[in-house]
């Protein structure tokens, strides 16, 4: 298992990285899988929008993009998170910035574990799982 967090173009630093790693382990274990190499990259709106355009051909801001490198029973990948969008969402939803960041991290891990959010039903399932895991912290 190799969980890492990188900060790019942002002064923000997540408080409770140890707790976040424990949460990732718990989620992956609950899915009956093991944690492989997972990198979280916390960056800016502009950077993530460029990633969105280049790799997904979407020209808009987003809070998270996951690149899934999972194989067999191992969850692995890169999760890019826009600190700007997460900060704006934390204000809009009146929640602590670190908790909103953890929610988005959970969302990314769920994608790596095989969940999608393309349909309304899938979005609802993802939201329920995010809620389940965010209350455990």
Q: Which domains does the chain have, with CATH numbers?
A: 2-134 (3.40.390.30)
**Residue 111 phi, psi dihedral angles, 5° rounding:** -60, -45
CB 130 within 8 A of CB 113: no
- Residue-level pLDDT at 9: 87
> How do residues 2-24 score in pLDDT, each as one tens digit?
999 999 989 999 998 999 999 99
Helix H segments across the chain?
Answer: 17-30, 45-56, 83-92, 97-112, 120-134
Whole-number Cα distances in Å, 8 to 33, 78, 80, 83, 132: 29, 14, 10, 10, 29
Give the integer Cα–Cα distance in Å for 26 and 22: 6
> How do residues 119-134 score in pLDDT, each as one tens digit?
999 999 999 999 999 9
pTM, rounded to two decimals: 0.94
């Amino acid at each position: 298992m190799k969980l890492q967090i990188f900060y790019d173009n942002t002064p923000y630093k997540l408080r409770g990285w140890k707790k976040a790693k424990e949460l990732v382990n718990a989620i992956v274990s609950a899915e009956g899988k093991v944690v492989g190499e997972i990198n979280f990259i916390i960056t800016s709106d502009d950077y993530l929008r460029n990633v969105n355009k280049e790799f997904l051909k979407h020209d808009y801001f987003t809070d998270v993009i996951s690149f899934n490198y999972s194989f067999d029973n191992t969850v692995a990948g890169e999760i890019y998170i826009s600190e700007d969008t997460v900060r704006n969402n934390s204000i809009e939803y009146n929640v602590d910035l670190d908790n909103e960041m953890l929610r988005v991290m959970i969302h990314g891990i769920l994608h790596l574990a095989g969940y999608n959010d393309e349909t309304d039903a899938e979005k609802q399932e993802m939201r329920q799982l995010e809620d389940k895991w965010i209350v455990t912290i």
